[in-house]
């Protein structure tokens, strides 16, 4: 790697030259699932509009009572003086007075909510630069987060698409060139901060951006820590065993998206064509036939999918820890290709969630099992969506058991609840708890306790 100081911040990972992406991160030793490969605080963060006023603008923690900043007439809220002081020093003093006018302006109001959060994040990023930190452009200290930020690859942006930024109170002398330098690295280095997979903000984590490339079948994933009084922290965690010499990559989008959508998104936001193993495989599949709407044929397809993923029937206990689903994906028989059609997953998820909310538990358990088979093929091992879905399946089996609204015998429903809980715990434990207190791992424990009390 060109920059030994950046490398010294990462243990067990080396950056190697890569013809398509400048550098790629390679494991210098093997890592077991759940290992935290890199832990970094946000350089900049902005809450999504729906969370403003419910979470601290400094640490993103959700608290009942927040102090509001009197300077900007209640546009920024803090969990306490520690966050208010550090946010003031880092950025807020530069935008406090002008922020209310900025968010009321037509230019801001016309933006979709997602772009509004980016306009604020861009304003925060520019506001936190000071004249000492402009020097990295001319080659300043190389290991500071600001310097690492300026060493990032720019994305495929045009300045005409840049969102408006909040005028700075005192330092309106930030040169346009510098704003452009920030914006050009912005879209392709911008992470959605989530709590239990719900987006709560957007953040920039320069070192993580400098190190990790994208893959549609990643072996690592980010998770976020929210601690009162501290800026949100991102951990990049190994999802499965990573062998020495293997590239470590995360997924920049939802891996369940169809091939074409993934390619378009990666090209538009990040400016590259993905050549990962999965994309190479899918690019050769040619035309993907749409699934039939004939109920009989549709049932045949879902049966075939389940039989392929669970060849000896469904035994969640046995399936835990199986790591050969990704190989199964590449050996998928042609009659299963319609499951890769873009409407298959949204329609199946819709059937599952509608049926579980309406109390049609048998329909939900059936659709949910097909969905699990699909997820196991499409998602990398231990991807959190698999854990969240198996938890939903446990809750559905439990509700069917409690309500008695099911043709499945009670003993089987309680066994099913147990199976899905065991599965959910095994998957969710790999990334571990993240975001707000509570969350899926605690739900797993609560439901396990209820189940034990019954026995």
Residues at the interface with ligand SAM (CB under 6 A): 20-23, 152-153, 155, 188-189, 209-210, 213-214, 270-272, 274
Give me the least distance between CB of 324 and ligand SAM, in Å please: 24
Pick the closer one to ligand SAM by CB: 22 or 93.
22
Give the full edge-to-edge strand order of the sheet including 44-47: 44-47, 198-204, 191-195
Give me the least distance between CB of 215 and ligand SAM, in Å please: 6
Pick the closer one to ligand SAM by CB: 21 or 169.
21
CA distances from 35 to 118, 321, 376 (A): 31, 16, 21
Give me the least distance between CB of 271 and ligand SAM, in Å please: 5
Pick the closer one to ligand SAM by CB: 251 or 421.
251
CA distances from 158 to 37, 96, 186, 352 (A): 34, 28, 12, 41
Pick the closer one to ligand SAM by CB: 223 or 395.
223
Give me the least distance between CB of 24 and ligand SAM, in Å please: 6
Phi and psi, residue 370, nearest 5°: -65, -40
Pick the closer one to ligand SAM by CB: 242 or 441.
242
Start-to-end C-alpha separation, the chain = 58
Give me the least distance between CB of 423 and ligand SAM, in Å please: 30
Give me the least distance between CB of 92 and ligand SAM, in Å please: 27
Pick the closer one to ligand SAM by CB: 205 or 379.
205
Give me the least distance between CB of 208 and ligand SAM, in Å please: 8
Phi and psi, residue 237, nearest 5°: -120, 140
CA distances from 149 to 55, 209, 237, 347 (A): 26, 8, 21, 40
For residue 193, what are its two tokens? 């901060």
If DSSP states are collapsed to H, E and C, what string results for 80-113? CHHHHHHHHHHHHHHHCCCHHHHHHCHHHHCCCH
Give me the least distance between CB of 21 and ligand SAM, in Å please: 3
| SS3 at position 366 | helix
Give me the least distance between CB of 263 and ligand SAM, in Å please: 11
Give me the least distance between CB of 353 and ligand SAM, in Å please: 32
| The dihedral sign for the CA sequence 120, 126, 127, 128 | positive
Helix axes 384-403, 361-378, angle to 10 degrees: 170
Give me the least distance between CB of 317 and ligand SAM, in Å please: 36
Reference 152, options 40, 268, 47, 3; nearest CA is 3
Give me the least distance between CB of 98 and ligand SAM, in Å please: 31
Residue with tokens 């922290």: 233
Q: What CA–CA distance (Å, rounded) separates 91 from 46?
A: 12
Reference 326, options 186, 219, 193, 444; nearest CA is 219
Pick the closer one to ligand SAM by CB: 251 or 309.
251
CA distances from 11 to 26, 56, 223 (A): 11, 32, 18
| SS3 at position 377 | helix
Q: What CA–CA distance (Å, rounded) separates 345 from 361?
A: 19
Pick the closer one to ligand SAM by CB: 120 or 189.
189
Residue with tokens 């854990």: 387
Pick the closer one to ligand SAM by CB: 20 or 330.
20
CA distances from 330 to 173, 371, 373 (A): 55, 18, 15
Pick the closer one to ligand SAM by CB: 153 or 304.
153
Q: What share of the chain is helix, strand, coil (3-state, %, to 5)?
A: 50, 15, 40
Pick the closer one to ligand SAM by CB: 152 or 424.
152
Pick the closer one to ligand SAM by CB: 271 or 439.
271
């Amino acid at each position: 790697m060109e920059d030994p100081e950046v490398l010294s911040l990462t243990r067990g990972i080396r950056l190697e030259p890569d013809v398509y992406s400048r550098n790629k991160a390679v494991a210098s030793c093997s890592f077991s699932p759940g290992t935290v490969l890199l832990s970094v605080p946000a350089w900049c963060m902005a809450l999504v509009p729906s969370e403003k006023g419910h979470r601290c603008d400094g640490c993103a923690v959700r608290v009942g009572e927040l102090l509001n900043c009197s300077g900007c007439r209640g546009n920024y809220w803090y969990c306490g003086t520690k966050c208010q002081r550090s946010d003031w020093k880092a950025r807020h003093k530069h935008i406090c007075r002008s922020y209310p006018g900025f968010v009321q302006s037509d230019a801001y109001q016309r933006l979709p909510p997602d772009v509004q959060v980016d306009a604020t994040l861009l304003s925060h990023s520019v506001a936190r630069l000071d004249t000492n930190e402009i020097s990295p452009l001319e080659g300043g200290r190389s290991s500071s987060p600001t310097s690492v930020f300026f060493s990032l690859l720019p994305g495929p942006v045009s300045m005409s698409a840049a969102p408006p930024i909040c005028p700075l109170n005192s330092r309106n002398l930030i040169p346009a060139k510098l704003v452009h330098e920030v914006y050009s690295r912005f879209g392709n280095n911008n992470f959605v901060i989530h709590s239990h997979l719900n987006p709560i903000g957007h953040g920039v984590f320069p070192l993580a951006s400098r190190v990790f490339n994208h893959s549609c079948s990643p072996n690592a994933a980010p998770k976020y820590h929210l601690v009162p009084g501290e800026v949100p922290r991102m951990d990049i965690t190994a999802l499965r065993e990573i062998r020495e010499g293997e590239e470590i990559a995360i997924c920049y989008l939802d891996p369940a998206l169809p091939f074409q959508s993934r390619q378009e998104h990666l090209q538009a936001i990040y400016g590259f064509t993905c050549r990962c193993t999965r994309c190479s495989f899918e690019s050769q599949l040619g035309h993907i036939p749409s699934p039939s709407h004939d109920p009989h044929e549709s049932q045949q397809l879902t049966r075939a999918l389940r039989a392929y993923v669970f060849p000896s029937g469904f035994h969640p206990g046995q399936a835990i820890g199986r790591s050969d689903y990704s190989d199964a994906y590449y050996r998928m028989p042609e009659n299963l290709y319609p499951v890769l059609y873009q409407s298959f997953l949204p329609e199946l998820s819709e059937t599952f969630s509608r049926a579980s909310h309406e109390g049609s538990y048998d329909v939900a358990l059936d659709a949910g099992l097909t969905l699990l088979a699909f997820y196991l093929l499409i998602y990398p091992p231990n991807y959190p969506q698999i854990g969240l879905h198996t938890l939903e399946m446990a809750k559905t089996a439990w509700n069917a058991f409690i309500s008695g609204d099911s043709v499945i015998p009670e003993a089987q429903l309680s066994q099913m609840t147990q199976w899905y809980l065991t599965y959910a715990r095994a998957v969710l434990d790999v990334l571990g708890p993240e975001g707000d207190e509570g969350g899926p791992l605690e739900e797993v424990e609560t439901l396990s306790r209820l189940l034990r009390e019954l026995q």
